[in-house]
Structure 1
Amino acid sequence: MEDILQAIVLGIVQGLTEFLPVSSSGHLELAKWLLNDDSLAADSMLMTVTLHAATALATMVVFRKDVADIFGDLFKFEWNEGTKFSLLIIVSIIPAAIVGLFFDDILDTLFSQQITLVAAMLVVTGLLLFLADRAKDTDKPVGWKEAVIVGVAQAIAILPGISRSGATIGTSVLLGVDRSRAARFSFLMVVPLILGKMAKDLLDGDFGGSVDAVSLGVGFVAAFFTGIGACVWMIQLVKRAELKWFAYYCFGVAALVFGVLALV
């Protein structure tokens, strides 16, 4: 029962923080720390990937019309908006794919309750959000240059404590991209990365941890439904340019963590 309750907590945390720009990976590490989760890195990654899969599905549900339009354009086998958007997504995921393929062992060490790193990266996330909130709103779409730069931001956001959505949306807005388009691109660009990560782990046999199937299933369901709600909410928040409140939140959590670490 304790494992199931922990899975529910982690699922809710993942569902909220995958879309809200406050770092899902950082909050998952903080949650494990608070719950005294002493599991091995492989086990932690198993649960983390499962919860990310849930939010990937939630993204596809929320953007189901966009996804259907993109696939419809692709099957026309001609150059059109859907084809261009798909290629922009491919370009944007290359940096993170390279990091995931060649630095996987190093990444595993970062997901083992590196709480000081998480707090420091939350400060970085907060600074990025604060700057992005001051950027001017435009009608500019995502172009090739923006896709490359946002892709690099997504690769950096693999670090726990750097918000993936915050890094990609914030970077896009600082580059002058329309806020709504920035949010749409940010949420859709992560889906193929998650699917690719799951395929790689399956081929490598990285899913052989001790986390039981019931806990994984419960965590998946919690993350999926929470993620749908958080995604819809976040789209509205991005349109209203309210990123500064998340910056203050990141600063507050980082200060609290540093304070607790100073006392122990």
Structure 2
Amino acid sequence: MDLLEAIILGLIQGLTEFLPVSSSGHLELAKFIMGDSALPEESLTYTVVLHFATALSTLLIFRKEVIQVFRGLFQGKINQEFMFSLKIMISMLPAVCVGLVFEEVLASFFGGKILLVGLMLLITSVLLLLADRSKTTSKDVSMFGALVIGLSQAIAMLPGISRSGATISTSVLLGVDRNKAAKFSFLMVVPLILGKIAKDILGGDIHFSSEEIIPMGAGFIAAFIAGLMACQWMIALVKKSRLIYFSVYCSVVGLVAVGFTIFT
């Protein structure tokens, strides 16, 4: 993996982690276009580095909300902060269970499954269209809502299903305020990313040589900066009900991916 490939993949991860177009799906498409050599044996390590970069950008933007979550967990009082923290924990359960039980099955969906990516992008497009047309309300995320949103996050482990798109769309369809839906969507994934990183490190799956430090560092910086911009942009777009643009985009990319697979 050369420096340019590392930066391109970093930008893709940083932008698509927050924009509702599926980061995993776009990384699969990018690797397919650039060839399997784009991410050879260090694929897992580089993926972890990119996810860590986007997790840090989320922590920076939502630092006040993150502090609120930790206060709620450790202050020992049943108040608004504790309830918000509890909702975050509940939303994580489906993805944790699916990830632990079906880890090998999920892994089989990656690695050049372009038809699957295309079909899942079309599903993402429909979800975004439904959310874009839903009514604006001022409701907060409920306990039951947190579980349902968590289920949508678990489904979004498939490449091509946008995690942010699925969780934000589910929240909006449940009647949650759009701004609260976006913040909850971005916050609920941070513990999962950090937990996955810790699991891979402790499992001994992370390894790289000294010559890979510069490309990985460049990719990390690209993903971090792109993530900062995309996260703030996405919040503004959700407030203004502009999800239709991403719905159209996912439709086009999905149809191209499906068409390419069928006719080549």
TM-score tier by shorter-chain length is over 0.9
Q: Secondary structure of 1:162's match? A: coil
Q: Does 1:222 align with 2:222?
A: yes
Cα distance in structure 2, aligned partners of 1:158 and 1:70 = 24
Q: Does 1:243 align with 2:236?
A: no
For 1:98, the aligned partner's letter is C
TM-score normalised by structure 2 residue count:
0.94
RMSD, matched Cα: 1.8
For 1:221, the aligned partner's letter is I
- 1:179-258 to 2 correspondences below 5 Å: 179-208=178-207, 212-258=212-258
1:168-206: CA deviation from partner (whole Å, max 9, x where unpaired):
000011111111110010000000000110111112222
CA shift for structure 1 position 70: 3.3
Corresponding residue for 1:142? Answer: 141
Corresponding residue for 1:128? Answer: 127
Corresponding residue for 2:7? Answer: 8
Cα distance in structure 2, aligned partners of 1:262 and 1:110 = 18
Give ranges in structure 2 of 5+ residues lacking alignment.
none
Cα distance in structure 2, aligned partners of 1:222 and 1:215 = 10
For 2:93, the aligned partner's letter is I
Contact 2:121 2:161 in 1 (8 A): yes
**In percent, how many aligned pairs have the same letter?**
54
Cα distance in structure 2, aligned partners of 1:110 and 1:50 = 21
Cα distance in structure 2, aligned partners of 1:199 and 1:174 = 33
For 1:246, the aligned partner's letter is F
Cα distance in structure 2, aligned partners of 1:228 and 1:45 = 23
Range moving further from structure 2, 163-172 or 76-85: 76-85
TM-score normalised by structure 1 residue count:
0.94
Give ranges in structure 1 of 5+ residues lacking alignment.
none
Cα distance in structure 1, aligned partners of 2:103 and 2:213 = 24
Q: Secondary structure of 1:110's match? A: coil
CA shift for structure 1 position 259: 3.0
Corresponding residue for 2:163? Answer: 164
Contact 1:41 1:109 in 2 (8 A): no
Contact 1:41 1:111 in 2 (8 A): no
Q: Secondary structure of 1:128's match? A: helix
